[in-house]
Amino acid sequence: MHYTPHFYLDPGTGSFIIQIAIAALLGLGVALRASWGSIKKLFGIKPKEEDDDSDNASN
């Protein structure tokens, strides 16, 4: 099944395809980090608090 496009901007076919490929790779990183976090938890290492309210101006 394909999308019924509902976008008001043209996301660009190439941009769509390439981001899916890149993101698949990068998503692995996110997954690994998440499981690494639970492994560390298993050994009693507390995960770092994510600074949710951090300022966007970071430099």
Partner 1 sequence: MPQTEKLPASFRDPSGFLFSRSGILYRQINRAYSMDYARLMDSGLYAKLTKLGLLIPHAESDQAPAESASAFKVIQPERVPFISYPYEWSFSQLKDAALATLSIQKHALKLGMSLKDASAYNIQFARGKATLIDTLSFEIYKEGEPWIAYKQFCQHFLAPLALMSFRDARLNQLLRVYIDGVPLDLAGALLPAKTKFNFGLLTHIHIHAGAQKKYSDNIVAPRKGAMSKQALTGLIESLEATIKKLTWKPAGTEWGDYYKNTNYADSAFEHKKQLVKEWTAEKNPNLVWDLGGNTGVFSREAASSGAFTVSFDIDPAAVEQNYRIVKKQKEQNILPLVLDLTNPSPAIGWDNAERDSFGARGPADMALALAVIHHLAISNNVPLTQLAEFFAARCKWLVIEFVPKSDSQVKRLLASREDIFPNYVREGFESAFSERFDIRKAESVRDSERTLYLMERKY
Is 44 among the residues that bind partner 1 (CB under 8 A)? no
Is 8 among the residues that bind partner 1 (CB under 8 A)? yes
Neighbours of 19 (CB within 10 A): 13
Is 14 among the residues that bind partner 1 (CB under 8 A)? yes
Is 47 within 8 Å of 41 (Cβ atoms)? yes
Q: Which is nearer to partner 1, 26 or 43 (CB)?
A: 26
Rg (CA), the chain: 18
Is 43 among the residues that bind partner 1 (CB under 8 A)? no
| CA 20 to mean position of chain CA atoms | 12
Residue 14 C-beta: closest distance to partner 1, Å:
4
